[in-house]
Every structure is written in C-alpha cells, then in structure tokens.
Amino acid sequence: MREIVLDTETTGLDPADGHRVVEIGAVELENLLPTGRVYHCYINPERPMPREARNIHGLGDDFLRDQPVFASIAPAFLEFIAGARLVIHNAAFDLAMLNAELARLDKPALAMSGVIDTLALTRKRFPGAQASLDALCRRFGVDNSGREKHGALLDCELLAEVYLELMGGRQQGLVLDVAATAPDGSGDPASASAGYSAPPRPRPLAPRITSAERAAHDAFIAELGEAALWAKAR
C-alpha cells in the first residue's frame, strides 16, 4: 500500500483569518516503509509572517519572498500525493490549510476520508498520554535531537518512524496478505486478521507412515495391556 506522510508549516492557525501555507513536506511509504521518495518545498505566502509563527518554524519574510507561490507548486504537489493514503498528525489542521489553498485555485479539496490521523490514532491507543510528535518520539525511542524548530520535511521523517511503531513496529506479525495488514482507520493492523481460519486443503495429505511402522506401533500398544492410556485412546 502506498501512503504519504505529510506535514505543513503555516503563517498561523486559521485560514479564515488569511493564514497561508509556507512549507510542505511529504515522505512516501510502501507497506509502511519509506521508499526514499520525498516532496519538499517552501512557499511564498504573499503576506507578512507573524512573529509567533516565525518563532515556531524559523521561516521569515526575507527568505520566503523569493520562494514560489502555491499556484506554482500545486501541480507537482498534487501529482506526488495522487492515489496515496495520507498520514498526518492532527490532520484536520493541515487539511484545512491545504484545502484553503486549493480552493483559491478552484481545485478539489483533499478528503478527510482518505487520511490516517496519527493524533487520533495515538489518543485511541494511549488514552490520556501526551500525543505530540515529540512525546511520541520519546515513547518509541525515535531520535528527534535535530528538531530544534518545526520543519515540514524533518517532521515527516520523524512521523514516518512513529507511524511504523504505532502500526505495530517492524515486526508486523505473520500475516502475509498485504491488504490484511493495511491500516483501516481503527488503527490496529492486527484486527484485519482476527477470526481468520485457514481454508480446507483441496485434497488430504498422503500419510507418511508405512504399513510396517503401523504394525510395529500396534504391537507395542498391545504389549502395554488393556489398561494403558494409549489402548483406550485408539
């Protein structure tokens, strides 16, 4: 299964207040493992960067004014994520920001139905525990020492490792059907194999015991006497 771990950085929290996307990072996964393909770009938000947002991600006006606008990067971005399930931490926020950008271009919105929200997944698996990306890195022993500020691509790389652990770690169990191990929104890949039973063989296996071995076994049981457990079990 192809999935895209995605993250954004923005000028603020609410697109209704005119806030814009300034960075997109995306990491491609195939069957929960990174393929090495990534998408990353900085974006000119066409508005000033508030101090509070700059303190979070370090992206300022001087740097961003030379970057392409969203309309320029949209085709390549949409091509990269096409056909993949999106994996996002706090998906409602990132989708709201991206869909506001797409709406400006009269392009279809990204559907929440095609997204795995790792924040919701974490809260379901670890109720009451801290659910931030940093907290999850600590829980699963993922090295986030290079994360001095938020950055879309770095956060995607960390989230890809965290997501693998959330879905059961590198040992996914002995279910060989890829479709059966894929996440389904309930967050538990093992649930797909619950209740599985092997179908009957089209024909029984041929016996491997010979007639001579069977005769020798019967003779041995007879020597044990009628009170022997093996005699009663025959």
**At 100, phi and psi to the nearest 5?**
-65, -40
Rounded average pLDDT over 88-116: 96
Higher per-residue pLDDT: 145 or 91: 91
Rounded average pLDDT over 139-168: 90
Rounded average pLDDT over 112-138: 94
pLDDT of residue 229: 67
- Residue of 19, 57, 89, 150 marked catalytic: 150
Q: Is the pLDDT of residue 38 over 80?
A: yes
In the chain the first and final C-alpha atoms are separated, in Å, by 51
Q: Is 24 within 8 Å of 6 (Cβ atoms)?
A: yes
User: What is the DSSP secondary structure assignment for residue 199, as one 8-state letter?
Assistant: P
- Which residues touch 30 (CB under 8 Å, ≥6 apart)? 1, 2, 3
pLDDT of residue 215: 83
pLDDT of residue 78: 98
pLDDT of residue 4: 98
Whole-Å CA distances, 27 to 86, 158, 173: 10, 10, 24
**Which residues partner with 88 through β-bridges?**
117
pLDDT digits (tens, 9 = 90+) for 188-225: 544 444 455 556 666 666 677 778 888 887 887 777 77
The maximal CA–CA distance of the chain, rounded, in angstroms, is 96
pLDDT digits (tens, 9 = 90+) for 170-192: 655 444 444 444 444 444 544 44
| Count of all residues that appear for the chain in the document | 234
Q: Is 144 within 8 Å of 137 (Cβ atoms)?
A: yes
Higher per-residue pLDDT: 6 or 187: 6
pLDDT of residue 183: 47
Q: Is the pLDDT of residue 16 over 50?
A: yes
Q: What is the mean pLDDT of the chain?
A: 86
| CB-CB neighbours of 117 under 10 Å | 21
Q: Is the pLDDT of residue 37 over 50?
A: yes
Q: Is 25 within 8 Å of 152 (Cβ atoms)?
A: yes
150 is catalytic: yes
Rounded average pLDDT over 131-140: 94
Q: How many helices (H) and strands (E) does the chain have?
A: 10, 5
**Residue 158 is which amino acid?**
L
pLDDT of residue 135: 94
pLDDT class of 119 with cuts at 50, 70, 90: very high
| CB-CB neighbours of 76 under 10 Å | 11
Nearest Cα residue to 8 out of 118, 151, 166: 151
**Which residues partner with 34 through β-bridges?**
29
pLDDT of residue 218: 80
Nearest Cα residue to 25 out of 35, 37, 14, 15: 37
Q: Is the pLDDT of residue 234 over 90?
A: no
